[in-house]
Amino acid sequence: MLTPLLTGFTTAFALILAIGAQNAFVLRQGLARAHVFWLCLLCATSDALLITAGVLGFGYIVTLYPQLPQFMAWGGAAFLLVYGALRFHAAWKGDYAMQLAGKSGGLWQTLATGAAFTWLNPHVYLDTLALIGAVSTRFEAVDAKTAFGIGAVSASFVFFFGLGYGARLLAPIMQSARAWRVLDVLIGLVMWALAAKLLFG
């Protein structure tokens, strides 16, 4: 069972590793040290549900509704454009008193944003339902397929909690409004680049 377990772990980890909207948000919250545990739990659990569905063959639905990915892309792009604009506005406004004081928005606001980055992102469905689901078909035996799924889910938990809490290592260089402004500009650019990729890629 070690082979499917490791295959699931490395496959999922490699897919999640790419810098995306969800990862950028977790990184930002990790730097702010705000609601990190609950946000990481939300992202990892959401991935676990999608990975499980992918391994169980739920990705077949996409073949039944070929227009679904396009609708998801439009919705995801709209969300990314708005969030990117908010980050640019924050950088322009330059008021980072809350971040520098170790404060942030409320828990439910943070979780709602994290959920949107997860469930409105077509790439999440592509990675979990389609790609991971496709790789899992290499293992036909139930126990091997289960081990693959456990490995993939474990990778998600390791990655998000590692990113959320590991972000604190960057805390020493995030002690000025200028550093937060640069971070917000970079995140805004990532959001708009991802939106453009969804619309035109």
Per-residue pLDDT of the chain (201 residues; tens, 9 = 90+): 788 898 889 888 877 776 577 888 888 888 888 899 999 999 999 999 999 988 887 656 666 767 766 776 777 678 778 878 988 887 887 765 555 555 567 899 999 989 988 888 777 877 787 777 777 877 778 888 899 999 999 999 999 999 899 888 877 776 677 777 887 888 788 778 878 877 886
Token duo for residue 85 = 């604009």
